[in-house]
Structure 1
């Protein structure tokens, strides 16, 4: 173990240095566009591989809970995608065994091609099913160190966090095929690395359940990491350090919307970029102005309608709509605190079974393709942003204000829906909770770091999985810190009491002089609904303190 004092080598990053960045794109300028893979003359895909060929539109469907004329608004695309779950008249989607066979087949075909594809088992579900990722690169190997040293940014594409959203996994099998030898996206591997997790929740997919086997919503478990599925993704992100993360999902076309509004949803895709408290402004700008603008343009160019992501509550008298959570526990928001550009795309039809599956897959293929091409186009810029943001965040330890919690903004918005009885388009004016701009509802001074007691090893381990550096005290000493006292008549906010506290051997220290400091603050400030204290990973307020002066005790650097 490496012994050092926090006054010197405990810091991993130096104070922020001046970095010259490219001029940021004009938000009003037309964003770059990208098109989905299309058939290429003279290139024949391998047997069983994803294909795209002209097919007639699906016949009109009947026995729907709304006017069948609505379905005419959503014709199949001019190309046809083939995966095991999309072939012939099959009613079931691609099984987990078929996903594994598909990925293994692509990996074997890459040998000797100049590009490398490999399948990695990144974890195991609660029911014992392997969770698999495909790594595609032009680096010397598919190991994380090789990708990280390749000078090419890595893109992570994740599908089917919710098991009842199958189009995302099918779309990512298509993307994987097009990255393989002779694929239409293979040339991008000269500029980027790609990691694909087609199915993050295999247990849920097996039973068409939204949740994991123990009833957890995986999409909201990327801070606490209570499930093996979330821990698998966290470890993957920690090791491969993606510069961009795309979460592919689906949303309901009818369901609760039909009950509340007597209307069907009409957008092919709903989008949201990452935005949570303390995300660096340059990371937000990259997510919004590079990736999301290009993605919306690509969808529009492909004839696919799109809008900001929205959802509604189960309360029938609540006609408001809200964007997805701004809490740091979603995949895209936690990734933004790891300083990656991140966005979520949901295709229309989680409740439609196999209806419109070609169009739904086409929507997500278009979205994923746009993200890959934008990463390639902005490769140099992404490295500049990453370097600047890492130093800037680390330099803020012990100074300035920290946003403890932020709230989305309330406004009104007009959404287009389709009347269920007539099929006519209608505009609905709604109260709208927007995640695009945040109101900082709670702030306090930024500490130098956090001390955790020896009984907080679970919290320390979860932070390590998130990529946060955690150190342990090697020689007992004292640190100047603000201790939390349970809230009494303070509206739920803890009372901070400053003084010297004992830091015994084996207790933990998390310095905020590191690039992922804001991920640590999201987990460790106790008075939020998603904090480790609130979720039980830290037992009591006496197990945590905010260190307000650079400690002089001796630490052992954790050897990961």
Structure 2
């Protein structure tokens, strides 16, 4: 590969090698015997596109998917023939495999500082967060080849393109969904508990992409057959970022022109599409359909909170093995092309909007309200499926959790800043890893704050719209809090996190305690013991039992204080 040396890479990105591999995830190579077999009448409904995409897994008679070595060789060959392509190794997986980043730019430089100065918006495509969803990674390689071959017109004169073709190398090599330690990578972009998610966060921090596409594949049979007697039929499902506190202008641009452009491209190519939806994997009696979640944990939503136009793309594939593989890759490929072309066409508007949104978010510090937690709206919806036995079309009417309309559950005033107690260095460092500016107090001062009083804490398990998250990392602590005024004496060692910065909404997602993705729920911030009754002596030696509420080591600052600060190193 044409890439930076390991020593040079280490100067740009932290060493991300994990020395401990949990036995939770057993190694499992691709096994064709486990594929779901569609009846011939269904197979005929998905004809193979007459397109040569030229990637390793699409070679005639190849029965498995692209290996790590084949991917690296393929990328190396592309880099040798294209001066617009530079390759960086952004980290290593838990089992020691490289995670390459492909940087396409007519600046002919992989340096983020160069790309940030060339006034062009940057598009990031990320694939294979889940290792058993191979069409996403193959399409990323196909699109990289098309760019390297100069077949994408003049898009690089208008945008920069970044591609992470294999975010989960261990899962891809072993054909398992999750990371080597069982963590679901697509739920780790706020907590950054794994080297893979930290490598991706480094790219987000350094390049600040304006547009992001997260490519996946979805399950076709399994619970769908058991619940509905039918198979999923849509070639592609699409959903932009849907979480609380997103700027309205970001959502508006995501819808038009970006979503419109991708859908038009799919339909023109004869490919069916839908909003993304799924259903519970555990309860076969629950036929409710849910759009992609609204939590601040998935890459799609985290990218939105980082102020990017952000999409999830899912193609019809999990459980099918290599069936319809060329069609699945083609569906992904033309969606990637449409996204980048739309970014190029609207490059000036994208750049202007990004600057305005980042400035607006910083200016909102201490003003208005935030939504700490929301819930999707229940509606009725009809989807199209394929009868598993007859291959006939089948309409299914069911309850639908819409992520396009989020009802507030917990709202609070937007603070001017948060303060962390001196004990919370772990949380302060984690915020820095997310790209947040964190300060330390350099001179003692007393300021007005709100403290968080712990009302309840309970052990719990995380859930997403499918009913579960990953094989590991599901434990959490659910909390309820109240707020009360507190005169807080800030001394040296306290951490101060102002919301006068572009990632303010990401900070809110991390620090407000009540959601399952928060730092409190996941043990990054210290959590005191449960409230308990204590006996307090009152006047005339009378004793009275009352509950004393523990206080979290986290405070809200409602007004701009006069504080001497130093940027945390």
Q: TM-score range by the shorter chain?
A: 0.7 to 0.9
Which residue number in structure 2 is paired with residue 351 of structure 1?
A: 319
Query: Partner of 2:513 in structure 1?
Result: 526
Give how far 1:430 is off.
Answer: 1.0
1:426 is aligned to 2:394: yes
Q: Is the CA contact (8 Å cut-off) linking 1:67 and 1:421 kept in structure 2?
A: yes
Helix, strand or coil at the partner of 1:230: helix
Give 2:225's match in structure 1, choosing from 254, 258, 262.
Answer: 258
Alpha-carbon separation, structure 2, partners of 1:472 and 1:97: 45
1:208 equivalent among 161, 171, 175: 175
Give the aligned partner of residue 536 of structure 2: none
Asked if structure 1 preserves the Cα contact closer than 8 Å seen for 2:362 and 2:502, the reply is yes
Q: For the Cα contact (< 8 Å) 2:367–2:413, is it kept in 1?
A: yes
Q: 1:547 aligns with which of 546, 552, 557?
A: 557
Which ranges of structure 2 fall in alignment gaps of 5 or more residues?
1-34, 459-477, 528-550
User: 2 CA distance for matches of 1:445 and 1:558?
Assistant: 26
Q: Is the 8 A contact 1:448 1:511 kept in 2?
A: yes
Q: Pick which of 417-426 and 497-506 moved more.
A: 497-506
Distance 2:479 2:187 in 1: 23
Q: Indicate whether 1:495 and 2:482 are aligned.
A: yes
Identify if the C-alpha distance between structure 1 residues 449 and 300 changes in structure 2 by more than 3 Å, giving closer, same or farther.
Answer: same
Cα distance per residue 1:368-415 (max 9 Å; x no partner): 000000000110001111121112111111121111112111101000
Among 57, 60, 78, the alignment partner of 2:50 is 78
Kept in 1, the 8 Å contact 2:213–2:310? The answer is: yes
1:535 paired residue number: 522
Aligned with 1:474 (options 434, 442, 452): 442
Residue by residue, what CA displacement relative to the aligned partner does 1:198-228 show, whole Å, maximum 9, x if unpaired? 0100111111111111111111111111111
Pick aligned residue for 1:249 from 206, 209, 216 = 216
Q: Which residue in 2 is equivalent to 1:218?
A: 185
2:246 & 2:394 partners in 1: Cα distance? Answer: 36
Residues 523, 532 of structure 1: 8 Å contact kept = yes
CA contact (8 A) 1:104 1:118 kept: no
What is the RMSD computed on CA atoms of the aligned residues? 1.7
Greater mean deviation of Cα atoms: 303-312 or 91-100: 91-100
Distance 1:545 1:306, change over 3 A: same
Please list the CA deviations of residues 289-325 of structure 1 after superposition, one character each: whole Å capped at 9, or x if unmatched: 1211111111001110000111111211011111111
TM-superposed CA distance for 1:140, in Å, is: 5.3
- 8 Å Cα contact 1:140-1:146 kept in structure 2: no
Question: Using the alignment, how far apart are the partners of 1:348 and 1:66 within structure 2?
Answer: 13
Aligned to 1:362, the other structure's residue is in SS state helix
Aligned to 2:369: 401
Cα pair 1:493 1:527 within 8 Å, conserved: yes
Correspondence 1:125 to 2:93:
yes
Structure-2 separation of matches of 1:119 and 1:147: 14
Q: Which residue of 2 aligns with 1:18?
A: none
Distance change in 2, residues 1:489/1:202 (3 Å): closer
1: CA distance, partners of 2:567 / 2:194: 27
Alpha-carbon deviation of 1:489? Answer: 11
Q: Using the alignment, how far apart are the partners of 1:382 and 1:273 within structure 2?
A: 16
**Contact 2:86–2:108 (8 Å) recurs in 1:** no
> Does the CA-based 8 Å contact 1:347-1:363 persist in structure 2?
yes
* Corresponding position: 1:375 with 2:347: no
* Partner Cα separation in structure 1 for residue 108 and residue 386 of structure 2: 52
Rate the CA distance shift 1:416–1:94 in 2: closer, same or farther, 3 A.
same
Instruction: Map 1:426-445 to 2 at 5 A.
Output: 426-445=394-413
- Identify if the C-alpha distance between structure 1 residues 80 and 385 changes in structure 2 by more than 3 Å, giving closer, same or farther: same
SS of the equivalent of 1:506 reads coil
In structure 2, the CA distance between the partners of 1:93 and 1:489, relative to structure 1 (3 Å rule), is closer
Q: Report if the CA contact (8 A) 2:36-2:319 is conserved.
A: no
Task: Verify the 8 A CA contact 1:264 1:420 in the aligned structure 2.
Answer: yes
Please report how far the alpha carbon of residue 465 of structure 1 lies from its aligned counterpart in structure 2 after TM superposition.
2.2
CA distance in 2, matches of 1:340, 1:279: 10
Q: For residues 222-249 of structure 1, what are the alpha-carbon distances to aligned partners after superposition, in whole Å with 9 as ceiling and x for unaligned?
A: 1111111111111101100100000010
1:108 correspondence with 2:80: yes
CA distance in 2, matches of 1:124, 1:489: 36
> Counterparts of 1:250-329 in structure 2 under 5 Å?
250-314=217-281, 315-329=283-297
Q: Is the 8 A contact 2:88 2:110 kept in 1?
A: no
Displacement of 1:488 in angstroms is: 5.2
**Which one of 132, 135, 143 corresponds to residue 164 of structure 1?**
132
Q: Which residue of 2 aligns with 1:155?
A: 123
Higher strand share: 2
Contact conserved, 2:85 with 2:108, CA < 8 A, in 1? no
Q: In 2, Cα distance between the equivalents of 1:321 and 1:527?
A: 25
Is the partner of 1:551 in helix, strand or coil?
Answer: coil
CA distance in structure 2 between the partners assigned to 1:335 and 1:121 by the alignment: 21
Deviation string 1:433-491 (CA, Å, 9 cap, x unpaired) is 11112112210111111001222222222222222211111223223211111115999
Give the direction of change, closer, same or farther, for the CA distance of 1:95–1:473 in structure 2 (3 Å limit): same
Please report the TM-score for the alignment, with normalisation by the length of structure 2.
0.84
CA distance in 2, matches of 1:508, 1:409: 37
Q: Which structure ranks higher in relative contact order (CA pairs < 8 Å, sequence separation ≥ 6)?
A: 1
Task: Summarize deviations over 1:265-306 as a string: whole Å, max 9, x none.
Answer: 111001111111000001111111121111111100111000
Kindly state the Cα deviation for residue 65 of structure 1 after the two structures are TM-superposed.
Answer: 4.5
TM-score, structure 1 as length reference: 0.85
What do the CA deviations read for 1:23-54 (whole angstroms, capped 9, x no partner)?
A: xxxxxxxxxxxxxxxxxxxxxxxxxxxxxxxx
Cα deviation for residue 71 of structure 1 reads 0.7
* Equivalent residue, structure 1, for 2:544: none
On the 8 A contact 2:454/2:552 being kept in 1, the answer is: no
The corresponding residue for 2:28 is none
Contact 2:448 2:485 in 1 (8 A): yes
Distance in 2 separating the partners of 1:261 and 1:447: 47
Matched, 1:486 2:496: no
Deviates more, 1:201-210 or 1:486-495: 486-495
Match of 2:141 in 1: 173
Provide the rounded CA distance (Å) in 1 between the counterparts of 2:457 and 2:522: 22
Matched residue, 1:514:
501
